[in-house]
Chains A and B, each alone.
Chain A
Amino acid sequence: MTIADGGTPDSAQDGATEFDGGTSRPGAADGPGPLFGAGSQFQEFVNDPRWALAMVRATVLEAAHPQVGAALIENSTFVAHPWRRLRNTLRSLQRMFGDDEQVRLREAARLNRLHARLNGTDPRGRPYSAMDPAVRAWVVATIFESTVTMCRLSGQPLEQHAMERLYTEFRAYLAAMGDEAGHLPPTLSEFWPYYDHVVAQELENTEAMRIILYKLFDHLPAPALLGGLPTLWATGRAVVGPLIGAITVASLPEPFRRRAGLPEMPGAQTLMQGAYLAVGLARFLPDGWVRADAIADLLALSPHSDDPRARAVTALHDKMRRAGALIRLITPLPPQPEPGFRTDAERSAEEFFREVLDQTGDGYLDWPDLAAMARELSTRLDLAEPEETRLYNAYADWWRELQTALDADGDGRVSAHEYAAAVPSLAGPALIKVAEVLFDATDKNGDQHIDADEYRTLFRTAFHRDTVGTDRTYTRGAFIGDFLAFMSGRRRSAAYDPLLAQA
């Protein structure tokens, strides 16, 4: 469940900051409480700030699994669009662990469809599949084990019955996905030998793991809200990024550190335990001050949208812009003038390639990039079958069209250079088809107009168009025209940029 972007636990590398119980209320596990929803052990952790560290650790352990690692490298957008990814992940977890059984079934079916599309072979020719039950069991195992370890490392270990309760919930999570629970051992006492075995025998020093440990946090793009403060963001990141890496390495199981050749840094253990302890202190903050999903939502909110909070955010964003301008002005001049200043609505071919086309951030345009766009749109619109497959097929056709037109050296993918050199006309018939399928999927009631609610579902903002007309709807022609203008004309767009370009 945790391999791609459509809402998966593996990318929760940040965010969680509220504590609403956790180990301070071990009594919650006394009775046979509910497996999901309010009162479950899981709900006690999801807003625990330590969980952010635990999820980074879980993600590293997951990525160290050869199959998961290959799937992440090939398909995930977590390098280029980590905040969008985090938000989707938290939303999916809420659905899976919520009270509503119907919502859970629907989400599980969506995740299964999503994962069924993620398979291939790794660079060494070994096949991988996100549907492999053993792989999915391992992903759940890392989250469970990292949650338990998080409590241990911060000096508040879970009591045995709470631990067992949590384990039962995670097995139920796997079962809700339709997997035979057998791939995760039936009891907690059998779990630990299974876990040790995988750590000792199966994990590898994969490329995906190295990217998460050493690259992701050093290059983490600023979320939309802080986009106006690039210098401050980069400074903070330069300090915090390596720290997160060192803390995570120190918290990994010793046998794996040895086998993967990860460095032992003096003081790293103390630093790691101190970090878990310090972050855990946030539990003394009042209830509801910070909630993982609220924070992720806020960070992703783009200014000038019509969200109720947007006016405050716009004001904040303006302040940020001023602060950013002031910081740039008072920062001593670097020896080389930095590029990147632009004022107009156009973006260069390189920028468009990096921000929109190359969703996986590997420097090439390939099928997984377009699949990631289809995945993001399906997630936004909460598509069911057969619309989801129609959208994927439209994207697949577009990919073939692009490949034919742009892949000059015949290596099967399109490099930024090939894209820029061709000065491509992206608006072929297949792209128009994508726009039409997207219109049909967005136009839920099929009246050939996108009304305000439908528009908001896709863009999370209201109409800002003067040309829409007095009835405040969006016609098929105008929708397709705007989509093509964004995808081919490289115009920035208040609607599509937050959808596809935002980090």
Chain B
Amino acid sequence: MIAGHTAGDAFADPTSASRFADGDRSLGVPRHVACVMDGNGRWAAQRSLPRTSGHRAAETTVIDVIEAARAAGVEWLSLYAFSTENWSRPGAEVDYLMRLVRAVVRKHAPLLHVRGIRCRFLGVSDPRIPRGLARDFADLMTLTGDNRGMTLTVAFDHGGRGDIVAAARSLIRAGVAAESVDERSFAAHLPFPDTPDVDLVIRTSGEQRISNFMLWQVAYAEWVFPAVLWPDFRAPHFLECLHTYRQRDRRFGGVLPERNGDSRS
């Protein structure tokens, strides 16, 4: 891409848009996009429906976003489905969520596989997770483990601090000397260490919080906060977010453009 082109031109040409050019601050398609799927409860409340119907409506959005991300050339997509703090919700809602997630996983497993999407589940360590659901997660990971298309990471029973604590424990168990710990070696002890840093986080419903989500990986992420509630979020909204991202000026604390996940040591 020639310097001087506007961001709008870059948008029209996705192949060149995904490449960095010397001196051009406009960004390509983010490599790693994460979504905090917020607003299901409010969506239901606005319609005088039970909260559970909001969760059910979220399924359509999830599938739509996966498809949009894949088509746009996003390599890594992460979805925040259930946090370690969500266990404090009413028991009936948690039970419903567990059943719903299981149904969704089973329903879409063959399609995800056929689309070449590699599925992973981040977290999933709490013994309260039903056995059948845990096995479906494991089965889906087994089934799609060799796929080379987009990697979909579903954060389920996930907490960012918990992951960092787990990495610290793992380091101590491995007997690594304090002096030899740096960011890179620390990150190697996080779950799924091959996951690159998050480039763009989309948090729907206008809320502006991190909520303990992939804390290590979002260090230099760009955040967008569309007002739309998650069940109403669709592919065009997703592409709009990508567009917003392209117009951001990412400097990673310096002045030169860098690609997120590149070495900053």
Interface set of A (CB-CB < 8 Å, partner B):
321-322, 324-326, 328-330, 333, 337-339, 341, 343
Check B143 against A333 for contact (C-beta < 8 Å): no
Q: Is the CB of A333 within 8 A of B139?
A: no
The answer on a CB contact under 8 Å between A341 and B109 is no
For chain B residues 110-148, which have a beta carbon within 8 Å of chain A? 110, 113, 130-132, 134-136, 138-140, 142-143, 145-146
Bound CA span A460–B1, Å: 61
Residues of A within 8 A of B189 (CB): none
A321, A328, A329, A337 pick with most chain B CB within 10 angstroms: A329
Please, which residues of chain B bring their CB within 8 A of the CB of A321? 142
A-B contact pairs, 5 of them (CB 8 A): A325-B138, A329-B109, A329-B136, A333-B132, A343-B138
Do A322 and B110 touch across chains, with their CB atoms under 8 A apart? no
Contact A329 B106 (CB under 8 A): yes
* CA of A324 to CA of B110, assembled, Å: 13
Query: How many angstroms between the C-alpha atoms of A337 and B132 in the bound complex?
Result: 6
Q: When chains A and B are docked, how far (Å) is the Cα of A330 from the Cα of B135?
A: 13
Contact A329 B132 (CB under 8 A): no
Contact (Cβ within 8 A) A326 B130: no
Besides A329-B136, A329-B140, 16 other CB < 8 A contacts? A324-B139, A325-B139, A325-B140, A325-B143, A326-B110, A326-B139, A329-B109, A329-B143, A330-B106, A330-B109, A337-B130, A337-B131, A339-B131, A341-B131, A341-B132, A341-B134
Q: How large is the interface on B (under 10, 10 to 19, 20 to 34, 35 or more residues)?
A: 10 to 19
Q: Are A333 and B131 in contact (CB under 8 A)?
A: no
Q: How far is it, in angstroms, between the C-alpha of A328 and the C-alpha of B140 when the chains are bound?
A: 10
A262 to chain B, nearest CB (A): 41
Which residues from B are CB-within-8-Å of A343?
A: 138
Q: Taking A329-B110, A330-B109 as contacts, is the C-beta distance between A322 and B142 under 8 angstroms? A: yes
- Whole-angstrom distance between the Cβ of B108 and the nearest chain A Cβ: 10
In the complex, chain B residues whose CB is within 8 Å of the CB of A328? 135-136, 139
Q: Which residues of B contact A341 (CB under 8 A)?
A: 131-132, 134-135, 138
A329 partner, pick from B131, B134, B139, B146, beta carbons under 8 A = B139
Q: Are A326 and B143 in contact, with the CB atoms below 8 A? A: yes
Give chain B residues whose Cβ lies under 8 Å from the Cβ of A337: 130-132
- Measured between beta carbons, the chain A residues less than 8 angstroms from B139 are 324-326, 328-329
> Once the chains bind, are B142 and A333 in contact (CB under 8 Å)?
no
A339 to chain B: which residues have CB within 8 Å?
Answer: 131
Contacts of B109 in A (CB 8 A): 326, 329-330
Residue on B with the closest CB to A322?
B143
CA distance A329 to B102 in the complex (A): 10
What is the bound-complex CA distance between A328 and B138, given in angstroms? 11
How far is it, in angstroms, between the C-alpha of A333 and the C-alpha of B109 when the chains are bound?
14
Q: Which residue of A lies closest to B139 (CB)?
A: A325
Please name the residue on chain B nearest to A325 by beta carbon. B139
Chain A contacts for B131, CB-based, 8 A: 337, 339, 341
B136 to chain A: which residues have CB within 8 Å? 328-329
Q: Quick one: CB contact mask for B207-236 with A, threshold 8 Å, 1 for yes?
A: 000000000000000000000000000000
Closest approach, in angstroms, between the C-beta of B157 and any C-beta of chain A? 15
B110 neighbours in A (Cβ, 8 Å): 326, 329-330
From 79 to 115 in chain B, residues with beta carbon under 8 angstroms from any chain A beta carbon are: 102, 105-106, 109-110, 113
CA distance A369 to B109 in the complex (A): 43
Which residues 186-221 of B sit at the A interface, judged by CB distance below 8 A?
A: none
**Minimum Cβ distance to chain B for residue A482 (Å):** 22
In the bound assembly, the distance between CA atoms of A333 and B102 in angstroms comes to 10
The answer for the CA separation of A341 and B131 in the assembled complex, in Å, is 7
Query: In angstroms, how far is the closest chain A Cβ from the Cβ of B234?
Result: 27
Least CB distance from A319 to B in Å reads: 10
Nearest Cβ in chain B — how far from A105, in angstroms?
50
Report B-chain residues with C-beta under 8 Å of the C-beta of A338. 132
Shortest 10 CB-CB contacts between residues of A and residues of B = A325-B139, A337-B132, A341-B135, A329-B109, A325-B142, A325-B143, A328-B139, A329-B139, A341-B131, A326-B143
In the complex the two chains form, what is the Cα distance from A322 to B109 in whole Å? 12
Distance, CA A324 to CA B142, complexed state (A):
9
Interface residues of B in 128-175 (CB under 8 A from A): 130-132, 134-136, 138-140, 142-143, 145-146
Q: Which residues of A contact B105 (CB under 8 A)?
A: 329
Which residues of the partner chain A approach B132 to less than 8 Å between Cβ atoms?
Answer: 333, 337-338, 341
Contacts of B135 in A (CB 8 A): 328, 341
In angstroms, Cα B143 to Cα A333, docked, is 18
B209 to chain A, nearest CB (A): 33
Tell me, in angstroms, the Cα distance from A330 to B140 when the chains sit together. Answer: 11
Query: Which residues on the B side are within 8 Å of A329 (C-beta)?
Result: 105-106, 109-110, 136, 139-140, 143
Interface core residue of B109, B113, B142 (most chain A CB under 10 Å): B142
CA–CA, A337 to B102, complex, Å?
12
A322–B135 alpha-carbon span in the complex (Å):
13
* Shortest distance from the beta carbon of B42 to any chain A beta carbon, whole Å: 31
Cβ-closest chain A residue relative to B145: A322
- The residue in chain A whose Cβ has the minimal distance to the Cβ of B105 is A329
Enumerate chain B residues within 8 angstroms of A325, measured Cβ to Cβ. Answer: 138-140, 142-143
Closest Cβ neighbor of B142 among chain A residues = A325
Cα A338 to Cα B136 in complex, Å, equals: 12
Task: Tell me the complex Cα distance, A322–B141, Å.
Answer: 9
Q: How far is the CA of A324 from the CA of B140 in the complex (A)?
A: 11
Cα A503 to Cα B145 with chains together (Å): 28
Give Cα distance in the complex from A329 to B105, angstroms. Answer: 8
A322: chain B residues within 8 A (beta carbon): 142-143, 145-146
Beta-carbon contact of B106 and A333 below 8 Å = yes
Most chain-B CB neighbours within 10 Å: which of A322, A324, A339, A343?
A322
| CA gap between A322 and B130 in the complex, in Å | 22
A329 to B146 alpha-carbon distance, docked (Å): 17
Nearest CB of chain B from residue A337's CB, rounded to whole Å: 4
A498 to chain B, nearest CB (A): 21
CA distance in complex: A151, B169 (Å): 68
